[in-house]
Amino acid sequence: MASLSWKALLAAGTLAVIQGHAVASESHSAQLDKLIDAYIESQREEGVADPVFSPAGFEAERQSRTALLQALKGIDPSRLDLALQIDHRFLVGVLESDIRTARAQRRWANDPAMYLPARQLGKLLDTASPAWSADQKQELEQLLKRLPASLAEARKSLQRPPSRFTREAIFQAHSTLEAMKKYAGIAVDEPNPAILETSIKVLEQHLVFLEQELAPRSDGNWAFGEENYNFILQRRWHMTADAAEILARGRRAFEDTVALATEVSQRIDPEVHWTEVYERLKDNHPSAENLKDAYQRPMDAARQFVRSRQILTLPDGERVITLDTPAAMRRSSPFGTFQSVSPFDDGLEGRLYLTPVEDWMTESQKQNRLRSHHLAWTPVIAVHEAYPGHHAHFLKVREHPRILRRVARESLFSEGWGLYTEELMFRWGFLQGDAVRLTQLRNRLWRAARVILDVSLHTGRMDFESAVNFLVEEVRFDRYAAELEVGMYIRRPTYVLGYLIGMQELEQLFADWVSEHGEPDPPSEFFDRLLTVGAIPPALARAEILNKPLPQTGFSIEQNK
């Protein structure tokens, strides 16, 4: 089926076509497929197009999403089969939530960092050299050419952002300016020296604006609000729970996990607190030369375990490899990242990128980096990221015939599955030993803390400094790392719930399957079905797997038009 142009959705008469005469000649399922194609095209366009950061740009985006939402609401779900009803419900919830989130956050007025492409510039400038490719030089030149207009729009549009957001923007501007001045001293012909000189001047002027004009009036609030929070839970994730119930679940999980961690640590050393026992585990770490192997070996072992126990049915030829993080990505990824397979091709290779210990580091920095990759940690990560975690999950997702399922990436399922696999592989006997178990529980405690803090921060129950102190005192985070962690929470409300709450939802779904069908034998009888459904909210996955009615939530489909 040819995709419907996303921009065409805004053209005059689009909704009339969807809601008028086309209904008589075209099935509801065909209409839904066209709208899904339009949505997926919009996601691809956003990935490659230059964003328009302005009130007008955000309003245009809101209107386009509203047009698609209204067209979806013109389709009668009762005329669709169950799989299409799930697609319809899922996409309506995503669009409603995106529109509401954009309206609540008003990023064009409240996020000064978004106007400066600091990450893109940093990745390019970090690797600048006379041997640069023509594509790299052209990319940098295009970024610099757009910079004056983008920063001018910032000065016009920013109003009273949160103080923390402005401080982050000032830090990024200083770092980018320093990198640009360093680059100016390298003997390269491109970009044009005049463009670079102009960019440096406008960024210097922008810094004056940030520090002298914007900072004094930066008294805005980043909290999402309890009503908005509940809307995401119930409309995007189709849960009956509200923020208060989710907070209670997080607190119970935190207390239960502390008790389990204490029990395990006392078997190792009954004389000290569990966090001290965990810190000692970090002394058993790989050498810098063996860092990649320390992950590759447990990943290969987990792969064999999953296949031999028939936990999942995986395609022949798939694999996960470990690679050094590219130099341009090391500043933004000091430890590593995982790259799963694409939903749009048939590639079978996942990649675990690990940022190496580098020569420029001090001996203390090298030691701290290696301790973060200790040998009780690596098998847990092998499970979470590779087998049967994210890599295996997104291989299975591609088996679903519906394109929307193949591209869905809701954290409540994807991150929940990653955390759930850690517990499953412990129960099945792959993750063994008290050191590994304590590491797994420490990671679960961190995810329970995320639930407590995310809900509390965005519903006015806790301020930023209290959240940082909680991570430092209760989870034993380094303060700097805790500030970065909480800084992520305030920008992405509800996302980090996906780990623990998603795990709980998937555990309950499995229990309900066992109650109706008995224990799956082999495990792939259930887990193949579960993962193929896609990374959609577990409440919707339940409807498909157990052939149940779609969940009822606290908001009617008429809301948020």
The domain boundary residue, chosen from 184, 217, 250: 217
| pLDDT (average), residues 22-49 | 78
Cα separation, 78 vs 289, in Å, equals: 60
Q: Does residue 38 share a domain with residue 164? A: no
Range of the domain at 90: 7-105
Using the CB atoms, write b or e for 505-517: b if 16+ within 10 Å. Answer: bbeebbeebeeee
pLDDT at site 552? 78
pLDDT value for 390: 98
Q: Are residues 199 and 250 both part of a single domain?
A: no
Around Cβ 342, how many Cβ atoms within 10 Å?
Answer: 12
More confident residue, 129 or 253: 253
The CA distance from 338 to 325, in Å, is: 10
Same domain, 95 and 116: no
Report the candidate in 83, 79, 93 with the shortest Cα–Cα distance to residue 31.
Answer: 79
pLDDT of residue 51: 59
Please report the DSSP string for 482-542 in residue order. Answer: HHHHHHHHHHSTTTTHHHHHHHHHHHHHHHHHHHHH-S-SSTHHHHHHHHHT-BS-HHHHH
The number of helix segments (H) and strand segments (E) in the chain equals 25, 3
Residue 293 and residue 313 in one domain: yes
Q: Is pLDDT at 9 greater than 80 in this prediction? A: no
Lowest mean pLDDT among 333-342, 399-408, 464-473, 489-498: 333-342
Asked if pLDDT for residue 20 goes beyond 70, the answer is no
pLDDT at 131: 66
In this predicted structure, the answer to whether residue 319 has a pLDDT above a threshold of 90 is yes
Which of 48-57, 215-224, 280-289, 545-554 is predicted least confidently?
48-57
The average pLDDT across 299-309 equals 98
Per-residue pLDDT, 559: 45
pLDDT at residue 254 greater than cutoff 60: yes
Position 511 scores a pLDDT of 97
Q: Decide which of 217, 245, 261 is a domain's last residue.
A: 217
Average pLDDT over residues 414-427: 98
Q: Is residue 328 part of a domain?
A: yes
Average pLDDT, the chain: 90
365 near 377, Cβ under 8 Å?
no
Q: Which residues pair with 339 in a beta bridge?
A: 351
Q: What percent of the chain has pLDDT over 90?
A: 76
Question: pLDDT tens digits for 77-100?
Answer: 999 999 999 999 999 999 999 999
Specify the pLDDT at position 134. Answer: 77
Provide the number of structural domains found in the chain: 3
Confirm whether 558 is domain-assigned.
Answer: no
pLDDT of residue 189: 60
The reported pLDDT for the residue numbered 11 is 44
- Token pair of 26 as six digits: 């075209």
Residue 222 belongs to a domain? no
Q: Does residue 554 sit within a domain?
A: no
On whether both 363 and 473 belong to a single domain, the answer is yes
Residues 150 and 119 in one domain: yes
Segment 88-147, tens digit of pLDDT: 999 999 999 999 999 999 999 999 999 999 888 887 887 766 666 778 788 888 999 999
